[in-house]
Amino acid sequence: MKVSRYFLVLLGLALSLPSSARAQADRYELGLRLRAMEAAWSEPGDDKARQRALPHIQRAVAGFFGFNLGEAGKWLDQARFQLQAAEPPPATVRWAEALQLQVDGRFVDAADTALGIHLSAFYPVEGDLPARAKLRLTLCNSTGKVLTSILEAPIKALPLKDKLSLEGVVEGDHQLRLEILADDKRLCGREQGLSCAVRRDERLAELKKGHEDLPKDAARSGQESLRGLLRILEALANRQTLETSYPAARLLAEAEVLQRSLKDGKEYYGGKRAGEFWLTLPTGKGMTPIRLLAPEAVQRGEPLPLVVALHGAGGSENMFFDGYGRGAIVELCRKRGWLLAAPRCPLLAGQVPVAELIDEIGKLYPVDRKRVFLVGHSLGAAQAVGAVNLSPERYAGIAALGGGGAPKPSEGLKKVPFFVGVGSEDFALAGSRALKDRLGKAGVEKVRFQEYPGIEHLTIVQTALPEVFGWFDRLLK
């Protein structure tokens, strides 16, 4: 795929992101398969395994940008198989791995007695249904401890429709473990989220009514964040499948505490409150949804470095937390005690209001304004460059991964260190090289260009991040 075609495809993607219920379920499923492939990629192994997987990953990227999510999932699975072994798995395993489980809602009420399920093929695969195939579903807690086995059903034909018994399911954010067996031999398994809350609908209604009655002088960031949480929770309660596994039970309880705090004229987020939060912050004339990591280090009350992570086309504020090496950047920030903010980037045009976002985060948590870093992937790299063009004095370092941008020469830009990372097999290679050349012509004093052999667009972020953060560390010395 040529770079010029790449940008045309991204434009089409921004205009054509899937919005139907089926398409959203497919996005969720693709995320599961992406994280499984990333897990296999991160395992210690030989270079030959990655070389075998590379063409399959490239086909997965083409499938995603061609809006064929099933095709993208197929090639992600094929890449994972190649990472795990030189020989492909048996036909029965490939058949089982192709299956997709959909549930009639990922946020249930504790009073519900059953939940509909639908098992079908996510993508076509050769081979017949194995003899004595069986579906087993087990409910586990967040640590993987088995709570209850809630379904075991023979697979006589596809699609398979059945109901899960929810008797005895307690409030909390759980994992629904899917296993496909044949002759009681496990062929494959994966997990997806399932949350449960007591009095779900009543509590949501109370939240909605209470939000309308909030004092007019209540903190705007808190009000908008509460409204954002309500949108997520109501969508899940209405049986929508969102792109990732939201901890809906926790978010419902959090929204209730947030609302009480606002009524009392107090801030809930910020200060010394550590955790991962979904916030909606006022930025200029608009609002920006973000996902935020406030590490335990906030409890010291000292100014902390901040990393703003900007995702690529088709992603969201969840991408850096759940994807890109299964949220590798989260652990890198957590162990350093750094704040991490991942905003939702515009779909088509416009600049993420990064400077305003930093100011809003600074109202909640103490930000060390001399140690603010940007990390951008693909179109997020261009967003990072755009943010620096507007206010170069705000940033201690920029990492542009698998993407380019158009830096505007200025005295301020010359002082901003840049890390430009790209894979030798990335279709954005020419764009990254062009960015390096433009930075040089603009007189930028510190430009590090790293081209990673055998790496393509999907894996550049998790590959480069350890080196990026080591480079950030050296900039701070």
**Is 258 inside a domain boundary?**
yes
The CA-based dihedral angle spanning residues 191, 326, 224, 201, taken in that order and rounded to the nearest 10 degrees:
0
Judge if 77 and 31 occupy the same domain.
Answer: yes
Q: How far is CA 44 from the centre of its chain?
A: 23
Judge if 67 and 51 occupy the same domain.
Answer: yes
Euclidean distance between CA atoms 345 and 67, whole angstroms:
19
Domain range enclosing 428: 269-476
**What pLDDT was estimated at residue 274?**
98
Euclidean distance between CA atoms 297 and 335, whole angstroms:
9
**What pLDDT was estimated at residue 6?**
41
Judge if 281 and 375 occupy the same domain.
Answer: yes
Judge if 191 and 213 occupy the same domain.
Answer: no
How confident is the chain (477 residues) per 10-residue block, as mean pLDDT?
40 44 85 95 87 96 90 97 94 96 96 94 91 94 81 95 90 96 95 96 95 80 95 96 95 97 93 97 92 97 97 92 96 98 84 96 97 97 97 98 96 98 97 98 98 96 98 95
| H or E element in which residue 68 lies | none
Q: Which of 105, 28, 37, 129 is nearest to 70 (CA)?
A: 28
Beta-strand relationship, 133-140 and 146-154: antiparallel
Q: Is 219 left (phi over 0), alpha (psi -120 to 50) or beta?
A: beta
| H or E element in which residue 126 lies | none
Q: Which of 164, 197, 230 marks a domain boundary?
A: 197
Judge if 118 and 157 occupy the same domain.
Answer: yes
Judge if 187 and 203 occupy the same domain.
Answer: no
Judge if 220 and 240 occupy the same domain.
Answer: yes
Judge if 173 and 209 occupy the same domain.
Answer: no
**What pLDDT was estimated at residue 21?**
65
Name 22's Cβ contacts closer than 8 Å, sequence gap at least 6.
none
* Amino acid of residue 376: G
**Taking a C-beta distance cutoff of 8 angstroms, is the pair 330, 320 a contact?**
yes
**Is 93 inside a domain boundary?**
no
**Taking a C-beta distance cutoff of 8 angstroms, is the pair 312, 14 a contact?**
no
Residue with tokens 């490939």: 94
**What pLDDT was estimated at residue 226?**
96
Dihedral of alpha carbons 427, 430, 431, 435, sign: positive
**What pLDDT was estimated at residue 20?**
61
Judge if 446 and 327 occupy the same domain.
Answer: yes
Rg, the chain, Cα only: 23
**What pLDDT was estimated at residue 67?**
85
Euclidean distance between CA atoms 98 and 107, whole angstroms:
25
**What pLDDT was estimated at residue 14?**
40
**What pLDDT was estimated at residue 137?**
95
**Is 25 inside a domain boundary?**
yes
**Taking a C-beta distance cutoff of 8 angstroms, is the pair 420, 388 a contact?**
no
Residue with tokens 């473990």: 177
**Is 369 inside a domain boundary?**
yes
Judge if 165 and 135 occupy the same domain.
Answer: yes
Task: For residue 255, give the 3-state DSSP assignment.
Answer: helix
Q: Which of 53, 88, 123 marks a domain boundary?
A: 88
**Is 433 inside a domain boundary?**
yes
Q: Which of 2, 8, 14 is nearest to 431 (CA)?
A: 2
- Taking residue 294's Cβ as centre, other Cβ atoms within 10 Å add up to 23
Beta-strand relationship, 286-294 and 339-343: antiparallel
DSSP letter assigned to residue 99: E
Q: How far is CA 280 from the centre of its chain?
A: 17
Question: What is the total count of domains within the chain?
Answer: 4
Question: Residue 436 maps to which CATH number?
Answer: 3.40.50.1820
Euclidean distance between CA atoms 341 and 213, whole angstroms:
30
Q: How far is CA 192 from the centre of its chain?
A: 14
**Taking a C-beta distance cutoff of 8 angstroms, is the pair 18, 69 a contact?**
yes
- Taking residue 22's Cβ as centre, other Cβ atoms within 10 Å add up to 11
